[in-house]
Amino acid sequence: MKSTSPPVPLLIPLIVGMIAISFAPILVRYSDAPVSVQGMYRMLFTVLIMLPFGTRQLKSLSSVSRKDWGLLALAGFFLALHFLLWMESLNFTSIASSTIILSLEPVFVMIGAFFAFKDRIGKLSLIGLLTALIGAFIVGSGDIGLSGEAFKGDVLSLLGTLAIVANMLIAKVILTRVPSFVYSLTVFAVAFVCFAIYNVATDSTFIHYPPREWLIFVLLAIVPTVFGHMIFNWLLQYVKATTISITVFAEPVGASLLGMLLFREMVSAFQLVGGAFIIAGLLLYMRAEYSAPSAANPKTEAA
């Protein structure tokens, strides 16, 4: 059982986290830099922010086995791949479609856990899975009607979602042996290195950006990462993982509203209907998870 003595009312950090993650696609859309550069600096600045707060925990790095170092590197690679694909999707499809598809993450985690760890899938979970997938198909079908580029963006978002699912399945294994702070810091650092190698290979510019871009890079690290996903990790000390997982609904809702306000991206009928199916499916999934016996369900960073 987790600690029941939080220093602040839990609703406050939960709301802050949900608002913060909704700004990720908005900041990506505002930037003119390649998404690989955005991702690289998002990871770098997050690591620099984290370092002063975990110097004592870094001592545990010496006890990490060679096998676990390999898993950490693989988790970092999939995190970088997730950011690269999902952030690139925003160049082709709408904020609403991209984040709605990203919200399928818990469903694919459930499928992956079934094959990788033989986790059982109950009838209610299966119904939720199928409902959410139907919703994704509706969103994708609507975007095909808009343009081939919009559908390409949906596919990139889907592939990015699968990449973060791979990251989470690895986390489920390694977080039983490695402290969560060390895991997060190491995976962020590996993702930064992956982005740096990619940017060198693609001859992307590292430093010649106006002050506005550097501000966006820093905000990507601070707002959706530190005030979003790292707050959710902290909340796991006091609430069940299922409660945190419900926040997956906040990003498509909040980001879509911000997209309408800031970019005049109106939500289409296909997005509304498909989004309703996905949210209904995820609610069924969460209900099934909540009623199942408690199990370790680590939360890792995404979007």
**Looking at residue 297, what is its pLDDT?**
47
Q: Using the predicted structure, report yes or no on whether residue 300 has a pLDDT greater than 60.
A: no
Give the pLDDT score at 94. Answer: 87
Evaluate whether residue 166 is within a structural domain. Answer: yes
- Asked if the structure places residue 139 within a domain, the reply is yes
Other Cβ atoms closer than 10 A to 17:
23
Res. 285: pLDDT tops 80:
no
pLDDT-derived band of residue 301, with 50, 70 and 90 as boundaries? low
Whether 296 maps to a domain, the answer reads no
| Residue 229: inside a domain | yes
Confidence of residue 82 (pLDDT cuts 50, 70, 90): very high
CA dist 104 and 161 (Å) reads 7
Structural domain includes residue 301 = no
Burial class (CB in 10 A: 0-12, 13-18, 19+), 204: middle
Full-model pTM: 0.83
Band (84; pLDDT cuts 50, 70, 90): very high
The alpha carbons of the chain give a radius of gyration, in whole angstroms, of 19
Q: Which residues of 133-148 are buried (b: 16+ CB within 10 A; e: fewer)?
A: bbbbebbbebbeeeee
Q: Which tens digits make up the pLDDT trace of 174-225?
A: 888 888 888 889 999 999 999 999 999 999 999 999 999 999 999 999 999 8
Mean residue pLDDT of the chain comes to 83
Of 52, 13, 84, 28, residue with least CA distance to 221: 28
Q: Is residue 190 part of a domain?
A: yes
Share of the chain above pLDDT 90, in %: 34
Residue 143's domain comprises: 16-291
pLDDT of residue 298: 46
Give me the number of domains the chain comprises. 1
Helix, strand, coil content of the chain in percent (nearest 5):
75, 0, 25
Residue 24 pLDDT exceeds 60: yes
Q: Look at residue 7 and tell me if it is in a domain.
A: no
